[in-house]
Amino acid sequence: MQDKTKYHRTGEPGGSGCAVGVLSIQSQRPDGTEFVGVLLDAGRDSKEIELLRTVAGKLGVIWGNDDLGWWAALQYPDFPSWSVLRQDDNGNEFVVQANLSEAQANTLVAGRRV
């Protein structure tokens, strides 16, 4: 069951994003699996934070800053939030892999590559 609790925090992010060039690419993840995606080129005059603000904004991230620090609100369930844990013979739990989609977590539990 999904948690329907609503939280409210105030604050606004500072600064602006930047213009980006978009290039279709085919690449590999660190685990070797291929994916088709886009490369966003912010050019030499943009800063890393401006590119991050642009990416976050295009993904629909609502973010800000308040007395408790920086926060980001994402539309649920698009953010990969599943983790796979391993329990040893003594009952200790260890994270095998985190920030997975549900399908990726199920694949890993089934013993296949994610």
For residue 1, being part of any structural domain is answered with no
The whole-angstrom separation of Cα 114 and Cα 80 is: 13
Tokens at residue 42, please?
A: 């912010």
Q: How many degrees, rounded to 5, is the angle at CA 73 between CA 72 and CA 77?
A: 130
* The predicted structure's pLDDT at residue 23: 86
Mean pLDDT of 14-29: 84
User: At residue 43, what is the residue type?
Assistant: G
Mean pLDDT of 77-85: 73
* The predicted structure's pLDDT at residue 49: 86
* The predicted structure's pLDDT at residue 77: 53
For residue 107, being part of any structural domain is answered with yes
Q: Are residues 65 and 26 in the same domain?
A: yes
Q: Is the pLDDT of residue 89 over 90?
A: yes
Q: Are residues 25 and 66 in the same domain?
A: yes
Whole-structure pTM value: 0.49
Q: Give 112's Cβ-side CA count (13 Å radius).
A: 8
Structural domain boundaries, residue 105: 80-114
* The predicted structure's pLDDT at residue 67: 82
Q: Are residues 27 and 68 in the same domain?
A: yes
Q: Are residues 99 and 59 in the same domain?
A: no
